[in-house]
Each structure stands twice: as structure tokens, then as C-alpha cells.
Amino acid sequence: MPKRKAAIAVGGVAALGAAALLLPNANASQDKDQASGATGTAKTLKAADASDLAGRLRKTLGDAFAGSYYDSGKQQLVVNVADGDGNVVAQAEKAGAAVRRVDNSIAELRSAAKTLKARATIPGTSWAVDPRTDKVLVTADSTVTGSRWDKLQSTVRGLGSGMATLKKSGGTFKTFVSGGDAIFSQVQGGNVRCSLGFNVTASDGSPAFLTAGHCGVAAKQWSDSQTGQPIATVDQATFPGNDFSLVKYDDAATQAPSEVNTGNGQTVQINQAADATVGQTVFRMGSTTGLHNGKVTGLDATVNFQSETDPNGVDTVNGLIQTDVCAEPGDSGGSLFTQDGSAVGLTSGGSGDCTSGGETFFQPVTAALQATGATLGSGAAAGGNGAGDQSGAGAGDQSGAGDQSGAGAGDQSGAGDQSGAGAGDQSGAGDQSGAGAGDQSGAGAGGDQIGGGQDPSAGAPSGNGSADAPSGTGQAGDGSSASGGH
């Protein structure tokens, strides 16, 4: 395997000094959250430090902890406290958090999530606890109409006043497949396109990478070009239920550095894996849509996708990171990251597009690493990949690897708090300008662009926001798409 192929596109991370330089034309939303009722003088913290503090406080405060979020405007961690006495508040304030008293406890939020799972597992729905409102945010996509909508409304009302909010999404929940560089597989009926997330070292020391689970289920062998020979083989694939795959390079001598391609010959080192925090700014690089940013809006999110293999089935996704970062078909499997070079998630699915916006969900990297036994980077250089505490409040019914703070609920078997995503729409895998792999220009690095990246100061790559790949048909689940991208 040529050495240049060793850097086969670890997603599209951008760990740079200033978000404005990284993505001047991106969704530069500002944190408008107000820590209403917050007490004490909180420390100024980076998002990563806030996540660590939230994890510690979850253990320290016990049942009184009711979720947390990062106020990026004030650079403070806001911790919700329910039924806590003055001593609990004092402990949180001494640790450096802003404390806010709320009505809904973790137990109540978990109970609401379990009720939704039991009564409203409807295709096209999702729910996650929003610690900023201290409620469960329930979302229905455009397919939830008629009796299904009535059932969802009734279930939400039944949770009680002040427990949940319900909103409509204009798009349709589906999986996205890609990230920074495109990867391809030739299967019966055509080609499948996904994206590499992050290069890792497998537990046996061999070079590998992480991508979406529904990609690994769709096809066993993967190439870095549409018509090229396979260069990697799926070792582990979990979908549905979770959404991650570990894919090992066929050549054991492959160099798989822990870096990401951001375009125009630029790469960014990935230093560690980190848990997401509600309110923090994150970046996503996609072979279809280029570089985009936004905020984490929920943790341990549950998404109910319409099954593409069973007309009457539902592919339920638990344990995902919910964001307002846009994505489109062709972006699944790729990387979600922070400005400081932390690997956060693998693109799974969502609704909307990069014109109108929408919700997008990501498999937590920390959970995928713990489940597969892999570490970021190569050989002895790998490290810093523990599946640590997750701050914030999530609404899935889950258990497994890693202590997660927030309102995540128990009862999901499997390794870590993770979820699979239904196999959704696919975009074509042909030669493209602006995205993908092979001989291409713009967002994505494949073929002769391996290891290259975007100059962060130059903004989004050429073709940003457009899906150059033609719309495909078929099912990602069985890989029967005629030139489809996940």
C-alpha cells in the first residue's frame, strides 16, 4: 500500500486557535443561554475542562445533580441542582460551577424517557434531555402525521406539565454517510460510499479506523477510491442499537496518523477523545458538504429511524450526541471534533440539510473506543481515549461503558452509550467536484489528496454546502444501493 494512502482521511477535524479563522462562513451562532437563577461566581473554563468538571460533579452531587451545560458566552459550566441542600450548592460553587436550582430531577427525566420509549417509539421521532430548559425535548420529523402525531402529542402531554416540549422538524430523519474523506465499497447492485472518521490502533496493535456502524454492516471491504482495490476490512460493526465500525487496514505496515484533513494541504492533529458537553461549539467535516460548525444541544439522544430493511420496522438509536450542525447524505461515518483537536463523534444521521439546517446526531467516539478496545493514533503514540464521564443530560434508555452525567437512562445493553442509525438516503459515489474521494477538488481528500486539508483561514472548501453526488436509491443496510453514499 503506498505510503500516501496511510493518511486516508481521518474525517475532517479542525483544531485551531480561533473558530472565526477556522470557519468564517459557518454557522457562527452565539450561546444565548442565560443561567437564570444561577448562583455563585463560576470559574472561566474551556469546554473540555467544563466537561471534566461536570463529570466530577455528577459523582460528587449524586441524586442532586440534574444535568449541566456549557455557557460558551460566559465560558462557564452551569450545573442544575434538584432537591439539593445548601451544602450541595456550596460544593458545586467551590468546584467552579454556576449553580441553578431546577424542578426536574434526574430520576424524573429518566422516567419520562422510559415512558417515551414504551409509548412513542415511532419512526421519525427523537428525544433528548435539554439541561438548559430542564425538560425532555421531543422532536418529530415531517413524516409523523395523522394518528402517529396524535399519539406522540398525547404521550408528551401525559408526561405532565413542565416535563417535556414537542417540536416539528421540517426534514426527515435519515442516516448520513461521510465525514472528511470518502471511502467506497463495491457491493451487489452498485457502490456504497461512506466516510472515514478517525484513524486508530486496534487492540492487537494493527492500524485501523472508525466509521459508522451502518457502513460496516452494508459492506465488508473498503477502498479509498470508487474503483480501487480494497485496502481495509471490517473487523467489528454494530448496527442498529449502536452505530460504529472498526475497520482494519489490510496492510499491517500502513501508517495511520491521528490527524484530520481540512483541505488545501492542511492537516490537524487529533490529540485525544473527549465527551461532548451541551452548549459547546463543535465542528463537522463532510465529503459532501465540507466544513460546518454549531452547538451540542443534547446528549444520550434517542432517534427512531424508519427501517430500510423492514417496512414495518423501526431502527432505534440510543446514546447519540444531538447537535444543530448541518449534514447531508454522504456525510455519515465522518468526524465531529472540537477546536482543540479532540475527537468527539462519528456522523450518524439526522434531518434537514446545509441550506435549511436541521438536527444531526453523532455516535460518541469515547464509547466506540471503549467498545472496540481501540485507541486513537498509531502504536505507542495512541492515548487519551478513555470513555470518561459525559456531562449534560440525555434521554436514552442506556447503560454500558463510561459514567455519563446528565439524564441518560439505564437499560440499553451493549458497550457504552451508543446507538445505531437506520440506513437512510444515499448519495452517489461518482467522481465529484468539491467533495468525496478519488480525483476531486474541494472538501474531502481522497486519491492524490490523501493527507491534505483545508487552510483554516480560507474558510469552507470549494463546493461547501452542496451535495455534488447524485441522489442514490436502495438500502444502505444491505448495501444494495446503485452508487449510494451513507
pLDDT digits (tens, 9 = 90+) for 343-368: 999 999 888 888 988 899 999 999 99
* In a domain? residue 14: yes
DSSP single-letter state for residue 363: E
Catalytic, 141? Answer: no
Same domain, 13 and 74: no
Residue with cell 451487489: 188
In terms of domains, do 19 and 95 share one?
no
Are 51 and 24 in the same domain?
no
Q: Name 167's bridge partners.
A: 139
pLDDT at site 51: 87
| pLDDT tens-digit readout, 427-462 | 333 333 333 333 333 333 333 222 333 333 333 333
Residue 134 lies inside a defined structural domain of this protein: no
What pLDDT shows up at residue 39?
Answer: 57
| Strand order through the sheet with 182-187 | 182-187, 190-195, 484-485
Looking at residue 388, its pLDDT comes to: 44
**Phi, psi (rounded to 5 degrees) for 405:** -90, 155
Residues 255 and 402 in one domain: yes
Helix (H) or strand (E) holding 67: strand 65-71
Which CATH number belongs to the domain containing residue 60 in this structure? Answer: 3.30.300
- Distance, in Å, from the CA atom of 273 to the CA atom of 359, rounded to the nearest integer, reads 23
Among candidate residues 72, 223, 258, 332, the one labeled active-site is 332
| 427 in active site | no
- 319 and 436 in a common domain: yes
> In this structure, are 308 and 411 located in the same domain?
yes
Q: How far apart are CA 88 and CA 85, in angstroms?
A: 5
- Would you say residue 52 lies in a domain? yes
Instruction: Specify if 51 maps to a domain.
Output: yes
Answer yes or no: is 36 within a domain.
Answer: no
List the grid coordinates of 224: 479509498
- Any residues with CB less than 8 A from the CB of 49 and at least 6 apart, and which? none
Name the active-site residue from 52, 134, 141, 214.
Answer: 214
136 falls within a domain: no
CA angle 87, 113, 476 (to 5 degrees): 130
The span from the CA of 402 to the CA of 398, in Å, is 11
Distance CA 371, CA 420 (A): 14
Nearest Cα neighbor of 284 from 329, 212, 240, 339 is 339
Burial degree of 310 (CB within 10 A; 0-12, 13-18, 19+): exposed
Cis peptide before 456 (omega within 30 of 0): no
User: How far is it, in rounded angstroms, from Cα 194 to Cα 479?
Assistant: 11
Q: Is residue 142 part of a domain?
A: no
Contact present, 217 and 332 (Cβ < 8 Å): no
Of 69, 101, 133, the last residue of a domain is 101
Which residue in 346, 183, 337, 354 sits closest to 270, CA to CA? 337
* CATH, residue 327: 2.40.10.120
Quick one: 349 and 403 in the same domain?
yes
* 160 part of a folded domain: no
**Quick one: angle between helices 47-61 and 86-95, nearest 10?**
150
Which residue among the candidates 243, 324, 331, 468 is catalytic per the annotation? 243
**Three cell numbers written together for 279:** 452548549
Q: What is the pLDDT of residue 38?
A: 62
Query: Which portions of the chain are predicted below pLDDT 70?
Result: 1-40, 84, 176-181, 189, 262-264, 378-486
Q: What is the dihedral of CA 335, 341, 343, 347, to 10 degrees?
A: -20
16 and 91 inside one domain: no
Give how many domains the chain has, as a whole number. Answer: 2
For residue 402, what pLDDT is reported? 37
SS3 353: strand
Residues 63, 205 within the same domain: no
Q: Is 332 a known active-site residue? A: yes
111, containing H or E segment? helix 106-119
Which grid coordinates are listed for 134? Answer: 430542564
State yes or no: cis peptide before 470, omega within 30 of 0: no
Separation of first and last alpha carbons in the chain: 25
Q: How far is CA 258 from the centre of its chain?
A: 18
Q: What is the pTM of this model?
A: 0.71
Q: Are strands 335-337 and 266-269 parallel, antiparallel or unpaired?
A: unpaired
One domain for residues 92 and 219: no
With CA atoms as reference, report the closest residue to 295 among 239, 344, 348: 344
Instruction: Provide the sign of the torsion angle of the four alpha carbons 304, 198, 403, 217, taken in this order.
Output: positive
**Residue 266 is part of which domain span?**
3-28+173-448
Same domain, residue pair 18 and 88: no
Residue 188 sits at φ, ψ, to 5 deg, of -60, 125
In the block, residue with C-alpha cell 459492506: 219
Q: Is 392 helix (H, G, I), strand (E, B) or coil?
A: coil
Q: Are residues 312 and 401 in the same domain?
A: yes
Separation of alpha carbons 465 and 341, rounded Å: 23
| pLDDT given for residue 40 in this prediction | 58
